[in-house]
Structure 1
Amino acid sequence: MNDLTSLMRPESVAVIGASNTPGKIGYAVVRNMMSSGYKGEIYPINPKETEIAGLKAYPTAIDVGKPIDVAVICVPAKATLSVAEDCGKAGVKFLIVITAGFKEVGKEGRELEEQLVEIARKYGMRIVGPNVLGIIDTHTPFNATFAKEMALEGNIAFISQSGALCIAILDWSLKNGLGFSQFVSMGNKADLNEADFIEAASHDEDTKVICLYLEDVVEGDRFIKVAREAIQRVPVVALKSGVSSAGAQAASSHTGALAGSDTAYSAAFRHAGILRATTMTQLFELANAFTTQPIPKGKRTAVVTNAGGLGIVATDAIELGGLEMARFSEDTIALLREKMPPMANIYNPVDVIGDAHYDRYEIALNAVLLDPNVDAVTVLLSPTAVLEVDKVAEVIVEANRKHPEKPIVAAFTGGFAVEQAVEYLKKHGVPIFAFPEEAVSTLIGMTEFAALSEATHNGEEWVFDDVNSERVREIFDSVREDGRDLLLSPEAAEVAECYKIPAAPSRLATSEDEAERHAVEMGFPVVMKISSPDIMHKTDIGGVKVGIESPEEVREAFRSI
């Protein structure tokens, strides 16, 4: 395990490129460090200044003459190599390289990034970034970013490949009252990557759930191994972008990421036990639920509502989403029959009907929570003129306190009439939504994670001994040496063969004689197609010939292609 304690909870931080000029990144980082309540030592580094923000400034990290755990680098890209050398000589443990202009901008930037990594390795330093917002740990507290505000204290570790997205989410979270334990911008991931930060967050006592925004994964095997271990302690939820061809191209220009096959990522996430979110909204709705509610023990869901229509919408969402409508025990049905008016529906969904006061919600909610056939509850509300909406919110919070073993989600469908109650539920940790489908979707996600976690815990690791991984590495190395990032058809077929994956046999022919020989060996009929890294749509140019039945046809097709 990589110990990132000195990174997330450092005793001393140097800000290289610190500034007294408002609007400069180095100005923002120093102010954020000071205003965050950080208790350690802060060393501004700027050869042109003697004092910054009331702190003594130093020409270089070497001149500090004291131990430095973290150096935050805010200088132009071309200056990073010399300051990294200084940091290495000063014994710095971690570099947070906020500076952009590395592999995300092309070949020259990639070479600069590789040189930076070489310097770090020479001195045993680890790198966050480059091209990052920075890092926040709210419980240290520690804010080494150039964001406008400090994150609220909470229990969500957010690990993102996009720094700009971090800024937007941070601002959004302040408005919505969502708190974080750790807030990490990974950028180009020249050194430390998602596996390192997942591992660190999973061992953090203040973290209850890990949220990921990923454009690619750089160490697949290690990523899966670390995630499988992490979910035994905390849920891991991921949003993987770059799933469309245009999105993948955007990811490459953003952080130099190679987005990869979405199908492969889906399979890897399932195997790792990672719950995959499809939207940013879903990512943080699930995160909030995991920090405030227990994980469901099963799929059986009860619904309590005062509006039949809302109950039907929720029932559809439950059934279509793979959950089950709970079948109440005889004791629960008898209790509801005794306490509810004749017009009420005492079966699932429980409809306390439109003239209900808060006490009917209290009776129904506690009854279904006590039922052994219920794993989770969804509470729905329409704000009628007779209903004490705020008291219903209080009833839900109290029921959640009395029954901490079962998750409760709620949907209060309304506007001004439910506003105060919604804030009360948020404040007391009950996931609250505007519509039933959103509430049910969160329960579906939590239940899916429970199944993933169980399968990962009980399942065996996927290990295959009869694969020729060495030959696959040789093929990939050859492709890279050619300056390509796509395999030719024969190469792809050979990779599949190395992994015992059934695929149509494929051979590369560079002459008519070679083509005829391969065709005879493989057996007719055969298909012939052009093999070129520059031609993606072969059929469009007549580069594919099918139904070839003889050596003569092979030669003719070769000449044509």
Structure 2
Amino acid sequence: MAGLDFLFAPSSVAVIGASRHAGKVGYSVFRNIISSNFPGKVYPINPSADEILGHKAYKSILDVNDNIDLAIVTVPAELVLRVAEECGQKRVKGMVVISAGFKESGRRGAELERILVEKSRKYNFRILGPNCLGFIDTFTPINASFASGSPLRGNIGFASQSGAILTGVLEWSLEEGIGFSKVISLGNKSDLNEADTIEALASDSHTKVILLYLEGVEDGVRFFEVARKASRMKPIVVLKSGVSSAGARAASSHTGALAGSDKAYSTAFNQIGILRAHNIEELFNYGITFSLQNIPKINAVAIITNAGGPGIIATDKCEEEGLPLARFEPETIEKLRSNLPKEASIYNPVDILGDAQEDRYRFALETVLSDSNVGHVLIILTPQAMTRPQKIAEAIVEVSGRHREKAVVASFIGGESVREASKTLMSNNLPCFDFPERGVKAIAGLVKFAEFMRREPDLEIPVFQVDKNKVNEIFTNVYKDNRVVLLGDEAAAVARAYGIPTPEVKLARSLEEAVEIAESIGYPLVMKVASPHIIHKTDIGGVIMNLENKDEVSEAYYTILSNVLRYFPSSQIYGILVQQMVPQGKEIIIGMTRDLTWGPMVGVGLGGIYVNLFEDVSFKISPFSRKEAFDMLSKTKAYRLLKGMRGEKPSDIDSVIDVILRVSQLSRDFRIINEMDINPLFAYEKGCSALDVKITLEKGK
């Protein structure tokens, strides 16, 4: 926590804008700090007050005859810059700017925020906010926020970009008995952002799980690096809003169209090891479960229920989440058969019947938890006339306490009759949910994190010998020609400079040149129109294949020009590409699109005409290791095709992975590449060949 000690463990705090009037933000913040039993010194700053809530008030932070670690600012936005200047002169270590009216309010506010950040850099202090709720640390303790109350002490660290969500969650948590270690309102993230938060919470001994609500990520590269390290230390769960593709930038390539902004976030989170929640309920289902349970070594789930319907629902949800149901050992089945009523179901899910009392629950849970094939147990209760939920909860607590290495999650379905029993479970570190689907989802989170932790981290990034000078020369010429889209021969030359095999291809600017090139390359040939404006050349008759002699070359030359002029009469044509024909192989697409947040995102999947039909593309954020490249490929239908189907010989998967890694390196070496497609890449038993390469550069370079 050393990096943010000034925030979470300050020796002295000044509240600039502290107020004597209840209902004012400055009053709430100052009162909360005092009420939280903060052990340090607190100084209210208000030019028109002598005393606030029993504390001497000061006209300016400069009037305080003491060092100030942290300033909490609640004054109007137009006064914040003057306050920041005074804080800088006072050598504060940090400012929490609660005031609104900055970049969230428009151009003028954005300029105020820019100058505020400049001042923080000039005087070397950090800023949380502006436009934030503040923060809470339940262990220091300090409540430097204007929330309506203080949360319970716990081991969940929660940071939110939305103050409204944060206040709602805090009130709900008090009702549910859920505790937090730290609560942080990020606001506009002018300086401190989600990466700083993760870094701090990862090193915090009081935090067991990190929860984030985000609307966006400020610095994708830093977030990726910080979160990748942190996720090896403790679970990180993120609820990211704004999942629609409406705001995603238009993409001209297949890879770009398939990637989309939200896809990039999911790709990054999966790669980092972040668990993604899809709503607030799910975020806290995961948070509660991680905060209360350890991570079992076995994935398999057993279900114990006193009603058939909920057991079936839970079983279906396990299948939906990809959770394996445990196969009981023969001795487990025999023990259940011998001791449960004959009407009971002794297989998984175990139905102990509606009249089950605490003894039957105790026996079933002890028996199932003792089975070496079981890692997690979902235990379901529906209240019947004879059910004693509190006694059953106590039995579950007793048995689970003897099996700490396994996860027990409960679902007590009902209202008032199960409320106290649910609280008993929660207070004894046993997550309890109102419906079985929520319990299964929580177990799925434990399993996903366990699988991530079992993966050996492979951070060795391959670096190939390449010809950067050649690529630089090509890109320079493209820009000189006032283009951003490379012609086919240029794109192929870039690929070859990075060791990606392509058929020989040359640009013909006349019929005579086309025939001359054809004779030098040799037959058979394919000819294509060379125009940066025509993406789908085949659709308009811009590609003719299997040309066997110069007469066919001549005919194809005029046919292609005629077809293009018919469909795109105003498009600029640079000539006709004459390309060597190569044998048919398995068609793969490998591409890259540069995401605005995460940088280069490389994809692989089924190529050719199947790209848009199946949308079978898996992505990784560059850079990544060879092992990660294989993992990306293995998640696609293309991988099954490459392995060989129905007696076919397998293709050269290693050569395909080489191309993936070379595209990844190219995308990092040249940040001016916006998009790249190799479609198709023909994969053979030995080697591969990039038939069609498309590259689009950044504008204005």
> Same fold, TM exceeding 0.5?
yes
Equivalent in the alignment of 2:561: 550
Any idea what SS the aligned residue of 1:269 has?
helix
Any idea what SS the aligned residue of 2:143 has?
strand
Deviations 1:384-422 (A, max 9, x none): 222322211111111221111111111122233323322
Equivalent in the alignment of 2:358: 358
Equivalent in the alignment of 1:46: 46
Alpha-carbon distance, 1:341 to partner? 2.1
Counterpart AA for 2:302: A
Supply the distance in 2 between the matched residues of 1:158 and 1:319 (Cα, whole angstroms): 30
Alpha-carbon distance, 1:342 to partner? 1.9
Alpha-carbon distance, 1:560 to partner? 7.5
Supply the distance in 1 between the matched residues of 2:2 and 2:562 (Cα, whole angstroms): 60
Alpha-carbon distance, 1:215 to partner? 1.1
Alpha-carbon distance, 1:461 to partner? 5.5
Counterpart AA for 1:559: S
Q: Confirm or deny: 8 A CA contact 1:527 1:547 kept in the other structure.
A: no
Deviations 1:257-304 (A, max 9, x none): xxx811111111111111111111000011001111111323211111
Match of 2:528 among 520, 524, 527: 524
Alpha-carbon distance, 1:330 to partner? 2.1
Larger Rg: 2
Equivalent in the alignment of 1:115: 115
Counterpart AA for 1:7: L
Deviations 1:82-112 (A, max 9, x none): 1101001101000101111222223222221
Equivalent in the alignment of 2:314: 314
Alpha-carbon distance, 1:501 to partner? 13
Equivalent in the alignment of 1:458: 457
Alpha-carbon distance, 1:213 to partner? 0.7
Any idea what SS the aligned residue of 2:192 has?
coil
Residue 290 (structure 2) pairs with residue 286 (structure 1): no
Alpha-carbon distance, 1:526 to partner? 5.7
1:55-204 paired onto structure 2 within 5 Å: 55-204=55-204
Q: Confirm or deny: 8 A CA contact 1:47 1:59 kept in the other structure.
A: yes
Q: Confirm or deny: 8 A CA contact 1:65 1:90 kept in the other structure.
A: no
Cα distance change, pair 452–558 in 1 and its aligned pair in 2 (3 A): farther
Supply the distance in 2 between the matched residues of 1:552 and 1:363 (Cα, whole angstroms): 79
1:225-304 paired onto structure 2 within 5 Å: 225-245=225-245, 261-304=261-304
Unaligned runs of 5+ in 1: 250-259, 476-487, 503-512, 532-538, 540-544
Cα distance change, pair 133–500 in 1 and its aligned pair in 2 (3 A): farther
Residue 453 (structure 2) pairs with residue 447 (structure 1): no
Counterpart AA for 2:265: Y
Alpha-carbon distance, 1:339 to partner? 1.5
Supply the distance in 2 between the matched residues of 1:206 and 1:130 (Cα, whole angstroms): 26
The alignment covers a number of residue pairs equal to 517
Equivalent in the alignment of 1:256: none
1:380-391 paired onto structure 2 within 5 Å: 380-391=380-391
| TM-score, scaled to structure 1 | 0.83
Q: Confirm or deny: 8 A CA contact 1:525 1:547 kept in the other structure.
A: no
Supply the distance in 2 between the matched residues of 1:326 and 1:187 (Cα, whole angstroms): 45
Deviations 1:192-225 (A, max 9, x none): 1111111111111111100011111122222122
Alpha-carbon distance, 1:546 to partner? 4.7
Counterpart AA for 2:228: R
Supply the distance in 2 between the matched residues of 1:467 and 1:313 (Cα, whole angstroms): 58
Q: Confirm or deny: 8 A CA contact 1:201 1:207 kept in the other structure.
A: yes
Counterpart AA for 1:355: D
Supply the distance in 1 between the matched residues of 2:461 and 2:187 (Cα, whole angstroms): 30
Q: Confirm or deny: 8 A CA contact 1:377 1:407 kept in the other structure.
A: yes
Counterpart AA for 1:458: P
Counterpart AA for 2:48: K
Supply the distance in 2 between the matched residues of 1:445 and 1:95 (Cα, whole angstroms): 36
Cα distance change, pair 42–546 in 1 and its aligned pair in 2 (3 A): farther
User: Which has the higher mean CA deviation after the structures are superposed, 155-164 or 459-468?
Assistant: 459-468
Supply the distance in 2 between the matched residues of 1:553 and 1:64 (Cα, whole angstroms): 78
Alpha-carbon distance, 1:226 to partner? 1.4
Cα distance change, pair 397–130 in 1 and its aligned pair in 2 (3 A): same
Alpha-carbon distance, 1:423 to partner? 2.4
Equivalent in the alignment of 1:559: 570
Counterpart AA for 1:97: V
Q: Confirm or deny: 8 A CA contact 2:232 2:453 kept in the other structure.
A: yes
Q: Confirm or deny: 8 A CA contact 2:352 2:360 kept in the other structure.
A: yes
Q: Confirm or deny: 8 A CA contact 1:202 1:230 kept in the other structure.
A: yes
Supply the distance in 2 between the matched residues of 1:118 and 1:495 (Cα, whole angstroms): 43
Alpha-carbon distance, 1:463 to partner? 6.5
Cα distance change, pair 291–553 in 1 and its aligned pair in 2 (3 A): closer
Any idea what SS the aligned residue of 1:524 has?
strand
Counterpart AA for 2:442: T
Equivalent in the alignment of 1:507: none
| TM-score, scaled to structure 2 | 0.67
Cα distance change, pair 227–383 in 1 and its aligned pair in 2 (3 A): same
User: Which has the higher mean CA deviation after the structures are superposed, 142-151 or 354-363?
Assistant: 354-363
Q: Confirm or deny: 8 A CA contact 2:33 2:143 kept in the other structure.
A: yes
Unaligned runs of 5+ in 2: 250-259, 476-482, 501-508, 518-525, 543-559, 573-701
Supply the distance in 1 between the matched residues of 2:357 and 2:460 (Cα, whole angstroms): 53
What is the percent sequence identity of the aligned residues? 48
